[in-house]
Amino acid sequence: MDNIIEIIKGDITTLKVGAIVNAANSSLMGGGGVDGAIHRAAGPQLKEYCRSLKGCQAGEAKISPSFQLKCKHIIHTVGPVWNNGTQNEEALLASAYRRSLEVAIENKIQSIAFPSISTGAYRFPFDKATLIAKNEIERFMKTNNTLQTIILVTFSESDYNQLKRIYEKPKNNYQNQ
């Protein structure tokens, strides 16, 4: 079966999908940005559950139930904090996407929605992060077809337009940018 990538603008907490991905911090105990929005919408049980996960390293991913959200699961991943590319950030961001997709497959999830991991408080340059995500998702889709729908969720109009522009470019290889 063919898998598809959709780009939408909106609030990831409202989506009715197999899993939404949380751009969490390594404590998994909640934070600002999308992490805060997910914890608020899922309710306090999420924090209790996350306590049992005992944190998560950058580039890794862990799964939880969704509690009060409409999606079935939450996959919590931790992206790198951008430090001018000196701390292996690109590989860690690629790993955050890859591990989230692997966890989705392990849990037989068919649709997954990602926020733009690390591009908020963690300051990863948006274009660079988008190209890394695109490369990783496309590579993953070549060998896995159980995941049918991948939704990329942008929060602002300008992020939405930028993402559209990058995905609509005919040939795009982030290593050549």
Residues 14-43 that bind ligand ADP (CB under 6 A): 23, 33-35, 37
Tokens of 15: 């989506």
At CA 79, angle to CA 3 and CA 127, rounded to 5?
A: 70
Choose the binding region for ligand ADP from 52-60, 68-76, 138-146, 148-156 (rule: CB under 6 A): 148-156
Residue span 84-113 as binding mask against ligand ADP, x where in contact by CB under 6 A, dash where not? ------------------------------
By the rule CB under 6 A, 121 interacts with ligand ADP? yes
Whether 11 is catalytic is: no
Q: What is the three-class DSSP state of 67?
A: coil
Nearer residue to ligand ADP within complex by CB, 146 or 156: 156
Tokens of 83: 């430090």
Using CA atoms, how far apart are residues 177 and 172, in angstroms rounded to an integer? 8
Using CA atoms, how far apart are residues 68 and 102, in angstroms rounded to an integer? 24
Using CA atoms, how far apart are residues 125 and 130, in angstroms rounded to an integer? 9
By the rule CB under 6 A, 11 interacts with ligand ADP? yes
Among 140, 155, 166, 174, binds ligand ADP (CB under 6 A): 155
> What is the amino acid identity at position 58?
A
Q: What residues are annotated to the active site? A: 35
Site residues for ligand ADP per CB under 6 A: 11-13, 23, 33-35, 37, 79, 115-122, 153, 155-156, 159
